[in-house]
Amino acid sequence: MTPRLPLHATFSLLGALVFALVVTSGASLWLPPGRAGIDHIVVPIVSFPVVWVVFALALYAARRRGRAWAIVGGLTAIHTLLIANHLAG
């Protein structure tokens, strides 16, 4: 009988979606715009799938999951603060 997927797998995958979205959106604030003023839009969007899968696998399958959650959570927190600061003017 195939073991069920543990609940924390779903949390990791869905959580990684939210974290990756915050980090890539926030990255548009510190990435240089480039010669055409679009690099800060295109680079985060193109890299989103890779960022997500790295976060998801780290959160779910890392040997030290607590450390993985701390790192990913920390990155997300920093970008959340960046976004909040930017939106607040």
Binding mask 6-45 for other proteins (x = CB under 8 A): x--x---x-------x--xxx-xx----xxxxxxxxxxxx
What are 74's two structure tokens?
A: 């920390």
CA distances from 51 to 6, 14, 18, 23, 45 (A): 22, 13, 11, 9, 10
Binding mask 53-72 for other proteins (x = CB under 8 A): x--xx--xxxx---------
Alpha carbon 71 to its chain's center: 10
Residues that bind other proteins (CB under 8 A): 1-3, 5-6, 9, 13, 21, 24-26, 28-29, 34-46, 48-50, 52-53, 56-57, 60-63, 83, 86-87
